[in-house]
Amino acid sequence: MDLTGKKVKIKAKGKIFEGIVMPSVTGSLVLKLDNGYNVGFFDYEILEIEEIEKIESKTSLTKNPELPDVKIISTGGTIASKVDYKTGAVTSQFTAEEIVGDVPELAEICNVDAELLYNILSENMNVKHWIELARNVYSALKKYEGVIITHGTDTMAYTASALAFMISTPKPIVLVGAQRSSDRPSSDAAMNLICSALTATSDLGEVVVVMHATTSDDYCYIHRGVKVRKCHTSRRDAFKSINFIPLGKIDYMKRKIEWFVQDRFKRGERELELKDKMEEKVVLIKFYPGLKPDILEYYYGKGYKGFVLEGTGLGHVSTEWIDVIKKISEDCLIIMTSQCIWGRVCDRVYDTGRYLLKAGVIEGEDMLPEVALVKLMWLLGNYDLEEAKKYVKENLVGEITQSTKYWESMLSFFNSKNK
């Protein structure tokens, strides 16, 4: 009999204990005692079992006609995680009332509508989830002034890229997450959510990621969805714009946005359009010294049509690979990116690079490898091979910059300007 969530009286260690049974992973009986502590028992005798009433808090929301309407779509992850400690189950409730109850400041910025689309960990996301999400966002954009997507941080940047390519948007699409679970008082969830609401109602028309800019609760950055990467396993400021600067920052306490990038996509600039086909037979391969080209042949044999190589330095793999590349590039698309992460690929400097280009490799410019992967899925899903090849080096949604700059100096300049 499952006792979880029930109030019991037990005898253990010659003493009577009363408490509520909590979920256990070790096979012990875990009791939450009246003093709040959980304690595990292996040797006990149950004396009484009692059902307890469920406590429910209810709040209702009133719409403020002065404020814009924003849709929050949840896909799961730390920011949305809510454990029902009575049963141990993860609750799938995600109502606007709950969100605004947790973060009442949202009601001062916008009218919130909420929908729980998925409740999955972000490592379990796949291309099909992206497509369904894109369709969902697309229809929400017809009705709302902006869309916020709560997302696990692990693969948030991939989803951001997928949406950026699939949806031509006239309104902000904001992905937001949390690095510290939202059930703790120090969670970054509330501040990130407030800043994402400010972004969703701002003069913006593209897909962005809004997360803490520093370890302090001072401001959030608005990262372009195709230029951002999670660069730390646990810190609040894990997300960094790579080969670019954040579009802007939001002062948490002042509730104010300061834009760094003036030629971003603005609100109303683009027509709403959805191109939601994706080719799933695309792979990202990280090269390391000694890796044999067999891996290419394997995927080719499995019918893969797109290859993103994460090469060394300016964009290299061993010259051993050239023959295989030459063979498959006839009816495949191969993009070279760099495991340096920072900087632009250039295969015209060394012989290896020149051979690779000749063999059919296309330079991925200053795209992040994972962005190139998503772009390739989208290109192969929507265009024929020759057209797709043409678009690789072309900047479509901000994924490629015209010139490489001292981004970090630019960013610190912007940050020091208004100190």
Partner 1 sequence: MQSTTKNAVDYNSVGLKVGIEIHQQLNTKCKLFCKCPTTHRDQEESNFQFFRYLRSKKSEMGEVDKAAVEEVKRSKRFIYLSYDTTCLVESDEEPPREINMEALELSLLIAKMLHMNVVDEVHVMRKIVIDGSNTTGFQRTALIAFDGWIDVGEKIGIATLCLEEEACRKIEDRGSEVVYSLDRLGIPLVEIGTKPDIKTPEMAKKVAAKLGMILRSTGKVKRGLGTIRQDVNISIKDGARVEIKGVQDLDILDKIVEYEVIRQISLLKIKEELIKRGAKVDKKIYDVSEVFKNTKSKILKKAKSVMAIKLEGFSGLVGKEIQPNRRLGTEFADIAKTFGLGGIFHSDELPAYGISEKEVEEVKKRLEAKEGDAIILAAGESERVKKALSRIIERAEQCLLGVPEETRKANEDGTTSYLRPLPGAARMYPETDVPPVKITEEMLKLEIPELIENRAKRYEELGLSKDLALMVAESQFYKLFEEYVKKLPATVVARVIYTVPTELRKEGYDINVLEEKHYRIVLKLIADGKIAKEGAGEVLKKMIENPEMSEEELINSVGGQSGLKELETFIDDLLNEKEELIKERKMGAFKPLMGEVMKVFRGKIDGKVVAEVLKKKLEVKTNIK
User: CA 289, 290, 293 angle in degrees (round to 5)?
Assistant: 115
- Catalytic residue, chosen from 75, 150, 153, 169, is 153
51 binds partner 1 (CB under 8 A): no
Q: Which of 227, 236, 249, 264 binds partner 1 (CB under 8 A)?
A: 236
CB of 71 to partner 1, least distance (A): 24
153 among known catalytic residues: yes
Note whether 34 binds partner 1 by CB under 8 A: yes
Cα separation, 121 vs 151, in Å, equals: 8
Active-site annotation holder among 154, 217, 237, 251: 154
Report the first-to-last Cα separation within the chain, whole angstroms: 62
Contacts of 340 (CB under 8 A, 6+ apart): 312, 313
By the rule CB under 8 A, 187 interacts with partner 1: yes
Q: Which of 185, 289, 301, 303 binds partner 1 (CB under 8 A)?
A: 185
Catalytic: which of 71, 75, 78, 159?
78
Pattern 336-365, partner 1, x by CB under 8 A: ------------------------------
| 251 is an active site residue | no
Distances (CA, A) of 402 to 201, 344, 394, 396: 29, 11, 10, 12
Token code pair at residue 399? 């994924």
Is-catalytic flag, 240? no
53: contact with partner 1 by CB under 8 A: no
Using CB under 8 A as the binding rule, whether residue 6 contacts partner 1 is answered as: no
Q: Which two tokens stand for residue 321?
A: 């690979």
In the range 361-390, which residues lie near partner 1 by CB under 8 A?
none
Binding residues among 249-278 for partner 1 as defined by CB under 8 A: none
Nearest to 110 by CA among 65, 177, 141: 65
Of 13, 142, 302, 417, the one binding partner 1 by CB under 8 A? 13
Give the separation between CA 137 and CA 273, rounded to whole angstroms.
11
Quick note: the x/- pattern for partner 1 over 80-109, rule CB under 8 A, is: ---x-xx---------------x-------
What is the token pair recorded at 178? 């949390």
Q: Which of 71, 171, 230, 305 is catalytic?
A: 230
Distance in angstroms (rounded) separating the CA atoms of residues 90 and 82:
6
Amino acid at 55: I
Which distant-in-sequence residues (6+ apart) come within 8 Å of 16 by Cβ?
Answer: 9, 10, 47
Stretch that binds partner 1, among 35-43, 243-251, 277-285, 377-385 (CB under 8 A): 35-43
183 binds partner 1 (CB under 8 A): yes
87 is catalytic: no
Query: Which listed range, 51-59, 150-158, 343-351, 380-388, lies at the site for partner 1 (CB under 8 A)?
Result: 51-59
Between 130 and 252, name the residue whose CB sits nearer to partner 1. Answer: 252
Binding to partner 1 by CB under 8 A, coded x per residue (else -) over 196-235, reads: ------------------xxxxx--------------xxx
Tokens at 58, concatenated: 């209810």
Helix (H) or strand (E) holding 138: helix 127-143
Closer of 62 and 233 to partner 1 (Cβ): 233
Is residue 76 within 8 A of residue 90, CB to CB? The reply is no
Alpha helices (H) in 152-273, listed in sequence order: 156-166, 189-200
Min CB(40)–partner 1 separation in Å: 3
Q: Which of 8, 10, 21, 22 binds partner 1 (CB under 8 A)?
A: 22
In the block, residue with structure tokens 């000694």? 290
d(CA 235, CA 248): 20
**Dihedral Cα 365, 371, 373, 378, nearest 10 deg:** -100
| Catalytically active residues, by annotation | 78, 153-154, 230
The residue ranges that bind partner 1 (CB under 8 A) are 12-15, 20, 22, 25-26, 28, 30, 32-43, 55-57, 83, 85-86, 102, 179-180, 182-187, 190-191, 214-218, 233-236
